[in-house]
Structures are given as structure tokens and as C-alpha cells.
Structure 1
């Protein structure tokens, strides 16, 4: 068996290899099926999205005996984030891994995922996203978009970078042009904190930082380091305002065209890939902070009081905007899920 043979020695491989695979025989298909899966991050085994794609590919191809093949299109090879979602919807590509940034453009209630300072820890986030709330959201997303979410990972907590000055409190963002994604909640958050939000496509971000179109950005440290976005930044403030969600999805028509046995294999591979991707991000985020510091960035961790200042200024206006746009029901369900998770796992 060649599964994981090329990276058995890594920590992520150990996690994936340790998963228990049920012995479901592959069905007999008339011809091989190819699933093209796109993502936006570097094709690196330090990136959760790419780890997800690699683990999924090797498991699916191995378990189906080659009846289902997986082609990985990483690092924006299939176009920008919006284009990748559209291609998955139409079936030009059958799968994609996308962040929460553009999801509201395809399903308006997804704005709730952009409310800042919701999740205080990974443990709370996973309990909510894997629980009843997550299942209901994924089902609603599938009905609205025709894309079935197979697994949810993350890229770390988003924090503020800039090339001008140390940011310790929200007032320090005043006058700084901060790149955001094309997400109204993210834009509203930066504005509420005193910064000047500038929405720029992910594929254009490096050039925008290089040319000084913006002073800074808000991104997870691991992702920023892997994509070399830190090269034109001097400061990082770990306010951890957003839990950056990446969802792996498959075109529903494509999924239904698979045999029941192949569907079961796809689901099982997705679960193992999600475990591996989450572990990768957990480790790479911590390493990235060391790497960013070595690269010369000044890293500042706000005090508890400073964090609460960010939270009290940044969250209420965004939550109010989202309630106005999508109604109270989805927001209340999410907040109830967070309260239950915090009661279960505790606050950090």
C-alpha cells in the first residue's frame, strides 16, 4: 500500500496513518472518475488546505483502487477564490477548499462566520462547528449553493499585520489602510476598530503590500508566513479577532453520481483529512510565530484588558450589521452554540 509512503515521518502523517479505516469495498464503476480539487494556499505540507487535499487524494485513490482519482490544483492554479467557488458550483472543477471570506456572496447567512471575537479557543470553535450548529449550517449551505461541505478546517486565528507601527490598542489602527477580503463583516470590523479597510482579492494581496497600496492586512500568522506576505510587514498584533475557517466542498451532483461505496470512502477520507489538516495548522501556527520573529517582525500580544477593548469596539457593530442583513435566527443559534461549548470545554 502506498498510502502516506512519501511523508510517513511527519507528525501529520502519523496522525493520518493512525486513523482507523473501515473495510468498505469499492464499487464497480463503468469508468474512472476524476475529482479536481482547488485551493488558494501554498502547496506545502505546512498548510492545512494542502494537507487536506493530499490526504484525501491518497486515501480515495487507494481505497477505490483507482476508480476515483483526485487532481490537486493548489496555490490559485484554478483562479481566484470566487472563481474557484463558481467552478465547483458549475462542475468545471468538482471540489474546492475555500475560506469563509467569500461564502456570504453565495449564501448570505454565512456572514455570521465573519463576526469578530466569537471564538476564544480552537476547542470551542470545533465543538460549535462540528456540533448541531455546524450540521445545520452545512445543510443550509448545500441547499443554497449545490456544494456539500465534507470537512471544516482552519488557517489559524486572524490577527493584524502592518508595516508602519506597533498596534497595541484599537486607536493605533487609526490612519492605517488594512487589506480585508471581499466580506462586509470583515470590512465593518476594521472600520469599527478605527482602521481604513481596503478590500483586495487574495491573489492580489502580495503585490498590494509590496507596492504600498495598503499598510497592512489581517491574516493568520502561519498562512501569512507560508505565502511570504510578511516580507513587506514589520509588526504583528495577536488580537486573534477571527477564527479563519476553510471548508472542503464537493459539487452535490458529482457526489450523487458516485456509487454508495465510493461516497462512503469519500466521507471517510474527508474525516481523516480534516483531522490531519487541523493538526497541521495547530503546529504550523506556533512555528510561524518563531519564524516571523526570526524574520524581523515585532510581535505584540495584547493584555487581557486590551483584548477586551478590541472586542468591545469591534464586535457589537458587526453583529448588529449581520443581524440586520440576515436576521436574528442564525446569529442566535451561533451564539447559543458558543455558550454551550464554553460551558463544556471552559474559557481559556
Structure 2
């Protein structure tokens, strides 16, 4: 079993005072949000739902939001209204999480990139080359490891995970020259998210990582602040990042996780019947979001090629070079920061999943 974040075992988290402060903030947010939503429930309850991607139905986050909204509003006969704030309308990623913690918004869909800023053990999800396929990832994230992670995340942040889906496997895009192996990343400024594991991976592979907020990626590419980035193909195409890029290398180094999360105070302010409706709507939306991403990943490759992007699939030897350079040092860094327990538990769950679902 993983150690609960309230434990004094420092192997689980590296900033216990920070976690205590987050817990206090979560308690305040719980009370604040309960008051806000409770006041609204005298008439209609409003759940403000923010996300970071394009507001199109070929994006998992927006598909999740739309299906969730339709299901909740239909099942509650309009007693609950879901207002969607997509495409960073509620601010950048960090701001969206903070607003949901504070109860300004009640639900957010956000990636794993900023999770470590709010819950240090989430660094484990940034280790590259963990999952060999979607099937292995879902076996792990839908299983005991996922359950324990979500519970620990909720205790630390005050945000209850309604469902987890993804945005596809992250790969390298570049504008200067094609990347066939790690040596080709030398001298390239690569945009990463604000995540230490992502930054360390690019460094280990020979590139120069430049952490940039999601809302500023397009202009950074447009203005030549960076020479490339690492992102899932479908997400890159939907956000039009390809307009300032030339090459895509399908190294699939990281499974990009997105989580839909509700403020715990807002959730607890709902009636038992409304809670059940929200949970069932989230399950339905999750199925749609995962299927949407699977289809979009495949369509996006054809769309990117039609748009003039040169796509390269590494040979088995080249892939092994990416993995052998990018994985060990990052894994050790994560172990040094959060301890061995979360890492070993995740790796054990992955080994079990690979045995259960077979090789891709």
C-alpha cells in the first residue's frame, strides 16, 4: 500500500510543510465552494467547467465536457447547469486548477504536467517511456494504483477526480531539421510543460528544454522562441501548432494524461441523487473522450501529413536509444525527489498490466 500523504514518511512527498499548506487551502476551498454552490441550489446549481484545449469535438477534453454537460442537465431536468469555459477561457493551466480549488470554478480538466506543483508524488507520471500502449496505461490507471493515486491527490488538493482520459502519446515536433535520434535534438530549443521530469528528459536526450505555459505555446512557435516541442499529434493539430513546424518524430515518449476534477466542497453540496448523476455522467463522458482521442490520433497523422509535416517513425534501434538515454536519469531524479514507494508501485502495476493485456 502507498503511504497516505498525512504520514510523516518523507519518502512520499518532499515538501511536508507545503502539503500541509495545500491541505489547509483545500479545507478553505471546500467550505467556500459549499457555500457558493449551496446558495445557487436555492434555484439552480451552476457548475463552471474549465479546460485548456480547442472547443472542438475531436478533442478529448471538450468532448468530455460536452457529453458531461448534456448528461447532467438532462438527468437533473435542468436543476444543474454546466457552463463550459474551454480553450483557456478561465486562464492558464495553473490558474484553472487554483480557481477550482478556490471554488471560483467547480470542475477543471487538466493534464498531468502541473500536478506535481500541487502534489509532489505526481512526478511519477512524468517518467518517460512508461507505457507501451493505451491498453497497458488504462489497466494501470483504472486499477489499484490509479485508485490510490486519486485518493492521495484528493486529500492533498481538495479536488476529487471524476475520470481520467488522455490526449495521446507525446512525441517530438521540430522546425529546423528532422529528428531521427537523440543526437538530432542537440542545439534545439524544445518547449516543455512546467514539469521537472519533462525538462530533465529533454536535457538527457541532448535538447535545450524551454518550459512555457500551454496558453503561450502557439506564439512561442510563431515568434521562434523555440525550435520545437513535444506534444500528442492530435492536440498539436487541433491547436494549430503545426503551422510553425516542419517535422514530427513518433517516439511516443510519454502518455499524456488528462483528469477531470471537481471541487470537493461543490461535490459534497450536491444531493445524493445529484452526486450519482454526476458520477454516471463522468463515466459516460470518459468512454467518449478516450474513444475520441484514439480516433483523433490516427486522423491527425493524415491531417498533419496533408498540411506538409514530414512524419518519421524511429526504427527499433532508434527508439531504444531514445528510451535508454531519456528514462534512467529521469526515473532516478523522481526517486530522489519523492522516494521509491510511488515509483516501485507504479512499475509493479505496469509489469502486471503488461502480463495481463499482452504486448502491443
Residue deviations 1:184-208, cap 9 Å, x none?
0000000000000000111111000
Report 1:166-315 matches (<5 A): 166-315=178-327
Distance 1:330 1:251 in 2: 25
Residue aligning to 2:150 = 138
Name the counterpart of 1:150. 162
Give the C-alpha shift of residue 305 in structure 1: 1.3
Matches within 5 A, 1:323-342: 323-342=335-354
- Whether 2:108 is the aligned partner of 1:104: answer no
Structure 2 runs not aligned, ≥5 long: 1-40
State the alpha-carbon separation in 2 of the partners of residues 156 and 171 from structure 1: 25
2:92 maps to which of 74, 80, 88: 80
In the alignment, structure 1 segments of 5+ residues that lack a partner are: 1-28
- Distance apart, 1:166 and its partner CA: 1.0
TM value normalised by structure 2: 0.88
CA distance in 2, matches of 1:315, 1:253: 39
Query: Does 2:59 align with 1:47?
Result: yes
Residue 69 (structure 1) aligned with residue 89 (structure 2): no
Deviating above 3 A after TM superposition, structure 1's stretches of 4 or more consecutive aligned residues are: none
Query: What is the Cα deviation at residue 32 of structure 1?
Result: 1.2
Aligned to 1:119: 131
The residue matched to 1:77 in structure 2 has which SS?
coil
| TM-aligned CA deviation for residue 347 of structure 1 | 1.5
Is 2:144 the counterpart of 1:129?
A: no
Distance in 1 between the 2:316 and 2:43 partners?
58
CA distance in 2, matches of 1:329, 1:77: 38
Q: Distance in 1 between matches of 2:340 and 2:207?
A: 27
After TM superposition, give the deviation of residue 30 of structure 1 in Å.
3.8
State yes or no: 1:163 paired with 2:175: yes
Distance 1:214 1:342 in 2: 36
Q: In the alignment, which residue of structure 2 is the partner of 1:6?
A: none
Residue in structure 2 matched with residue 12 of structure 1 by the alignment: none
TM-score by length of structure 1 reads 0.91
Distance 1:346 1:191 in 2: 32
Deviation at 1:267, TM superposition (A): 0.3
Task: State the Cα distance separating 1:135 from its structure 2 match.
Answer: 0.3
SS where residue 110 of structure 2 aligns?
strand
Q: Partners of 1:300 and 1:113 in 2: how far apart?
A: 26
**Distance between the aligned counterparts of 1:71 and 1:262, measured in 2?**
16
Residue 31 of structure 1: CA displacement?
2.5
Distance 1:106 1:70 in 2: 25
